[in-house]
A and B are shown apart, each in its own frame.
Chain A
Amino acid sequence: MDLHVVAPLASPAERDAVDAVLSPLIGPPASGWHGGLRDSAIDGHIARGGHEARSHRDLLLPALHGVQARIGFISQPALAYVCRRLSVPPAEAYGVATFYALFATTPRPPIVAHVCDDIACRLVGAEELCNDLERSLGPAGEPTRDGRATWLRSPCLGQCERAPAALFTNAGESPATFAVAPIDAAGIARRFELAASPTTATDPAQRSAVDPAPPAAPPTPDERLASARASVPQAGAPALRLLRRIGQVDPTSLDDYRVHGGYLALARALELGAERVIEEVTTARLVGRGGAAFPTGRKWAAVAAQTVRPHYLVCNADESEPGTFKDRALLEDDPFALVEAMTIAGFATGAELGYLYVRGEYPLAEARLAGAIAQARSAGLLGSDVLGSGVTFDIEIRRGAGAYICGEETALFESIEGKRGEPRNKPPFPVEVGLFGKPTTVNNVETLANIPAIVLDGGVAFAAIGTEGSTGPKLFCLSGNVERPGVYEVPFGVTLGGLLQLAGGVTGGRAIQAILLGGAAGVFVGPDALDTPLTFEGTRAIEATLGSGVVMVFDETADLVGALRRIAAFFRDESCGQCVPCRVGAVRQEEILARLAIGRPRGSPADELALLRDVGQAMRDASICGLGQTASSAIESAFRQPGMISL
Chain B
Amino acid sequence: MNAGARLIAVDPRRTSSAEWADLWLGLDVGSDIALANAMGREIIAAGLQHQAFIDRATNGFAAYRAKVESYTLDFAERETGIPADAIREAAHAFATADRAMICWTLGITEHHNAVDNVLALIDLALLTGHVGRYGSGLNPLRGQNNVQGGGDMGALPDRLPGFQHVENDALRAKFDAAWGIPVPPKSGWHLSGMFDAMERGDLQALYVIGENPVQSEADQKRAKHLLSTRDFMVVQDIFLTATAELADVVLPAAAAWAESDGTVTNSERRVQRVRKAIDPPGEARDDLAIIFDLARQMGHDWGAPDPEAVWNELRTLSSVHAGMSYARLDSEGGLQWPCYDESHPGELFLHSRLWEDPVPGHRVPFVAVDHDPPVDKLDDDFPVRLTTGRRLDSYNTGVQSGGYTSPLRRGESLDISPEDAATYDLTDGERVRVVSRRGQVEAPIRVDPSLRPGLTFMTMHFQDEVAVNLLTIDATDPKSGTAEFKATAIRIEKLERPVPA
Contact = CB atoms under 8 A, between A and B. Distances in A.
Interface string B15-30: 0101111111111000
B452 A45 contact: yes
A51 B453 contact: no
B14 A33 contact: yes
Interface in A2-37: 2-4, 32-33
B83 interface: yes
Interface in B428-476: 449-453, 455
Interface string B76-104: 00001111001000000000000000000
A595 interface: no
Nearest to B452: A44
Contacts of B22: 48-52
A38 B451 CA distance: 12
B16 A47 contact: no
Contacts of A32: 449
A48 B83 CA distance: 12
A44 B16 contact: no
B81 A47 contact: no
Contacts of A47: 14, 18, 21, 23-24, 26
B81 A45 contact: yes
A32 B450 CA distance: 11
Nearest to B455: A44
A4 B19 contact: yes
Contact of B16 (A3, A42, A45): A3
B4 interface: yes
Given A2-B16, A4-B19, A46 B83 contact: yes
Contact of A50 (B21, B27, B419, B450): B21
A553 B96 CA distance: 68
Contacts of B23: 46-50
A48 B455 CA distance: 21
Interface string B124-153: 000000000000000000000000000000
B81 A50 contact: no
B20 A50 contact: yes
B400 to A, nearest CB: 22
A50 B7 contact: yes
B417 interface: yes
Interface string B308-336: 00000000000000000000000000000
B24 A49 contact: yes
Contacts of A2: 16, 19
Contacts of B16: 2-4
B6 A51 contact: yes
Contacts of B18: 47
B1 to A, nearest CB: 8
A257 to B, nearest CB: 43
B19 A49 contact: yes
Nearest to B19: A3
Contacts of A46: 23-26, 82-83, 86
A40 interface: yes
Residue picked from A38, A40, A44, most chain B C-beta under 10 Å = A44
Nearest to B21: A50
Nearest to A51: B22
Best-surrounded residue of A32, A46, A48, A49 (most CB of chain B within 10 A): A46
A2 B419 CA distance: 23
A3 B24 CA distance: 14
Contact of A40 (B27, B80, B452): B452
B453 A45 contact: no
A3 B18 CA distance: 10
A363 B126 CA distance: 61
Interface residues of A, number: 19
Contacts of A40: 417, 419, 452-453
A38 B7 contact: no
Nearest to A87: B19
Contact of A45 (B25, B418, B450): B25
A4 B448 CA distance: 10
Nearest to B22: A50
A365 B175 CA distance: 83
A512 to B, nearest CB: 55
B180 to A, nearest CB: 55
B480 to A, nearest CB: 28
Contacts of A44: 26, 81, 417, 451-453, 455
Interface in A433-462: none
A2 B82 CA distance: 24
Contacts of A50: 6-7, 20-23
Q: Which of B14, B25, B86 has the most CB of A within 10 A?
A: B14
Nearest to B24: A47
A255 B482 CA distance: 79
A4 B449 CA distance: 10
A2 B20 CA distance: 9
A4 B451 CA distance: 13
Contacts of B1: 51
A481 B350 CA distance: 77
Given A4-B16, A33-B14, A38-B449, A45 B26 contact: yes
A42 B83 contact: yes
A49 B25 CA distance: 11
B91 to A, nearest CB: 14
A91 to B, nearest CB: 12
B11 to A, nearest CB: 11
Contacts of A38: 418, 449
A33 B26 CA distance: 13
A32 B455 CA distance: 18
B365 to A, nearest CB: 33
A634 B106 CA distance: 62
A216 B86 CA distance: 58
A51 B86 contact: no
Nearest to B7: A50
Nearest to B18: A47
Contacts of B27: 45
B143 to A, nearest CB: 20
Contacts of A49: 19-24
A45 B82 contact: yes
A174 B10 CA distance: 45
Contacts of B453: 40, 44
A46 B8 CA distance: 11
Contacts of B20: 3, 49-50
A46 B7 CA distance: 14
A48 B16 CA distance: 14
B377 to A, nearest CB: 21
Nearest to B14: A47
Nearest to B450: A4
Interface string B267-301: 00000000000000000000000000000000000
Interface string A177-208: 00000000000000000000000000000000
Contacts of B24: 46-49
A10 to B, nearest CB: 14
Contacts of A87: 19
B82 A51 contact: no
A317 B80 CA distance: 54
A43 B419 CA distance: 12
Contacts of B450: 4
Contacts of A33: 14
A4 B417 CA distance: 15
Interface string A37-79: 0101011111111111000000000000000000000000000
Interface in B349-387: none
Given A3-B19, A4-B450, A45-B452, 6 more contacts: A40-B453, A44-B81, A47-B24, A49-B20, A49-B22, A50-B23
Interface of A: 2-4, 32-33, 38, 40, 42-52, 87
5 contacts: A2-B16, A44-B455, A47-B18, A47-B26, A50-B7
Interface of B: 1, 4, 6-7, 14, 16, 18-27, 80-83, 86, 417-419, 449-453, 455
The 8 closest A-B pairs by CB, nearest first: A44-B452, A50-B22, A3-B19, A45-B26, A47-B24, A45-B81, A40-B452, A46-B86
